């Protein structure tokens, strides 16, 4: 398994997941409306100083998921983390591997102080995963989105540099 730049050949697998029924319920954004052209254009954008997207791929170089550090703010030393893995790759340790790699880059190479994320309160699997990795619930935007005619809270989580260094020696140890 490894992280690499997104490639055009990943687009079809990305779309399969984005257009699935599951993805409709777990993201604030409606990924179903993104076309092949939209995703191709996204993949073509090169990583910059402020936005990094990686594909996590298996040993056959097949796309498993995307992990990102967005809005990297070097003045305030923070960045937003995002992750999405295909159904078949969930529960395999791939997301844990990708998260370990991107947090390593954030804290050990970019020297950031904080990495944060937001997640719909209904996305229980992602919330369990974030807690396992060491993210801490920081606050809640109440009734921030409407899905299936119901209001949903948006939760904010973050991990600080010192928390990463403590955690680095526990849950990531087996990887």
Q: Residue count at the site for ligand COA (CB under 6 A)?
A: 17
Binding residues among 11-40 for ligand COA as defined by CB under 6 A = 26
> According to CB under 6 A, which one of 132, 142, 143, 166 is a site residue for ligand COA?
132
| Interface region with ligand COA, contact rule CB under 6 A, candidates 2-10, 47-55, 85-93, 134-142 | 85-93
132 in Cβ contact with 171 (< 8 Å): yes
| Interface region with ligand COA, contact rule CB under 6 A, candidates 31-39, 51-59, 116-124, 140-148 | 116-124
Q: Is 128 in the site for ligand COA (CB under 6 A)?
A: yes
> According to CB under 6 A, which one of 78, 90, 122, 153 is a site residue for ligand COA?
90
Binding residues among 48-67 for ligand COA as defined by CB under 6 A = 65
Cα–chain center distance at 106: 13
Q: Is 123 in the site for ligand COA (CB under 6 A)?
A: yes
**Smallest gap from residue 88 Cβ to ligand COA (A):** 10
Q: Which residues bind ligand COA (CB under 6 A)?
A: 26, 65, 83-85, 90-91, 95-96, 119, 123-126, 128-129, 132
């Amino acid at each position: 398994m490894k992280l690499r730049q997104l490639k055009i050949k990943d687009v079809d697998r990305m779309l399969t997941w984005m257009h699935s029924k599951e993805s409709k319920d777990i993201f604030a954004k409606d990924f179903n409306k993104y076309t092949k052209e939209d995703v191709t254009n996204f993949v073509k954008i090169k990583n910059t100083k402020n936005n990094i997207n990686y594909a996590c791929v298996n040993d056959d170089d097949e796309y498993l998921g995307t992990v990102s550090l967005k809005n990297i703010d070097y003045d305030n030393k923070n960045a937003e983390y995002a992750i999405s893995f295909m159904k078949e790759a969930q529960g395999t340790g791939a997301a844990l591997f990708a998260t370990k790699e991107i947090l390593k880059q954030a804290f050990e190479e970019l020297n950031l102080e904080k990495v944060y994320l937001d997640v719909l309160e209904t996305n229980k699997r992602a919330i369990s995963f974030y807690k396992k990795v060491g993210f801490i619930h920081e606050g809640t935007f109440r009734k921030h989105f409407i899905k299936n005619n119901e209001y949903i809270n948006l939760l904010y989580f973050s991990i600080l540099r010192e928390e990463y260094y403590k955690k680095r020696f526990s849950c990531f140890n087996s990887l």
